Amino acid sequence: MNKIIYAIEGLSVWVGRAFGWCILILTFSVSYEVFVRYVLNAPTVWAFDMMVQMYGALFLMAGPYALAQDAHVRGDVLYRLFPVRWQARIDFLLYLLFFFPGMLALFWYGMEIASDSWRYKEVSWNSPARIQIYFFKTLIPVAGGLLILQGVAELLRCWKAMKSGVWIERLDDVRETEDLLADSDIPKKIIG
């Protein structure tokens, strides 16, 4: 079961890292647009649409990554006080009742939106550049599918925690600054 969980998490992490490069493209396009608009007085017609699509792609495809890294915001005032088995039961139930219906709706209606967009060869109405957006709308059901897949991994993780009373480790990717400092000698040098 761990192999399945880690394979799904590995896919989510890989997709998140790949789409993380959108932030670099977004940064360069915004910088370019600001430069040509205010220094050269020659704004582009395509920059706004491209920025919206890059941000949207980043936002959509970061969801499975954040779920795989347990990085979503959680109101865990009481939750963290519960034993692991009860945490797993709560998570399992919440995934079944709320997460999966929402993600199935995202996937289903995203498929309809994307297929309509492809059928019409939809273009942006925000600018005279008329940039094609049906490629971008395809990411909606893809993100929904990846979230469903990662949700299956989370259910399996909960199932194992309900049986064993221990959460299995997540794939190590990024770490919070507090965790990095706790593992280093810097606080010891400052204090002592």
Asked if pLDDT for residue 192 goes beyond 60, the answer is no
Check residue 172 and give its pLDDT: 75
Locus of tokens 């919070």: 176
The model's pLDDT over 19-33, given as tens digits with 9 standing for 90+, comes to: 988 899 899 989 999
Domain count, the chain: 1
Domain that holds residue 185: 2-191
Check residue 153 and give its pLDDT: 95
Check residue 47 and give its pLDDT: 82
The model's pLDDT over 123-180, given as tens digits with 9 standing for 90+, comes to: 877 777 788 888 889 999 999 999 999 999 999 999 999 999 998 888 876 666 666 6
Check residue 129 and give its pLDDT: 75
The model's pLDDT over 143-155, given as tens digits with 9 standing for 90+, comes to: 999 999 999 999 9
Check residue 186 and give its pLDDT: 61
